[in-house]
Amino acid sequence: MVLRTLTNQKRNTTFQIALQEFPEIAQGIVVDAPITFNVLLASLYGLNTVQPEFFRVPFNQKSLYEKATTTFEPFDATVTVSVWRAAAGAGSFTDSLDLTSGFTSVHQEAVPVTIKQNPPPNMMAPMSIEMKLSKSVDLAAGAYVIVFGFEWKNYGVLTIRLWGQESGTNTVGGKGGGAVKNCTYTPTQDAYPSGKAWAGLGVRRWNGEPDSSIGFGPRFSLATAKVTACIVVGEWGNDIFNPGDLDIALVRRG
């Protein structure tokens, strides 16, 4: 059995993983029948690269030293995969999570991966981040949160972007929903209503140097992604953001 949150046709946005702000992202899933998996798959759209000056200039100048791209050389990374069972089932999937209360650890492992591009990057692109676990994990029926904690040492890469689906109805702009935005769009029906995606709130320091440190934590807030139809280049802070789901799959191989 393969558990897949989204199908290729349901991808419509990307969720960002950024070392300097939110290197952890989580996805809630509901398992209807027992499954066993030893590989997790995620879909990569692209990444944002930066020049060293990015870390030294004021915020309003940083965009001059940052570039979004889907063409890049492969690089190594480590993904700490953590699987947690929710004691209260999917009822635990609120907008904020604290894994120290109401959750039980099922499995945790640091997995080496290769981040590589998908030519061409589009909604039908195959999954491109493969996380091979050292052993099989058995999940009984129930609700779970899977946390992905990313680390890499390619200091020219600021952000990677994972395919997913946004499925909210927000009409105002900004991550906090307080900016004026003139855009009318057709909301997307949630393809995986059983789950949610969250962004980690761990304490971290990232300055683009080898001594940078990343600290993961147990607390998460609702992850949001841009409504593609409302994106205006150069107006990142005013874009409309909705909650949604990551495009991931749990697979048994061998």
The structure tokens listed for 125 are: 């692109």
Q: What is the pLDDT, as a whole number, of residue 73?
A: 92
Where does 99-247 show beta strands of DSSP type E?
Answer: 103-115, 129-139, 142-152, 157-166, 197-200, 204-205, 213-214, 219-222, 224-226, 241-246
pTM, entire model: 0.92
Give the pLDDT confidence of 178-218 residue by residue, as tens digits. Answer: 777 888 999 999 999 999 999 998 766 666 676 666 667 88
The pair of structure tokens assigned to 239 is 């874009």
Cα separation values, 80 from 24, 27, 161, 169, Å: 9, 14, 17, 32
> For the chain, what percent of residues have pLDDT higher than 90?
60
Q: pLDDT tens digits for 231-242?
A: 877 666 678 999
Structural domain spans, the chain: 3-251
pLDDT tier, 120 (very low <50, low <70, confident <90, very high otherwise)? low
| Cβ proximity of 243 and 221 under 8 Å | no
pLDDT digit string, tens, across residues 127-180: 789 999 999 999 999 999 999 999 888 889 989 999 999 999 998 888 777 777
What is the token pair recorded at 150? 């990313």
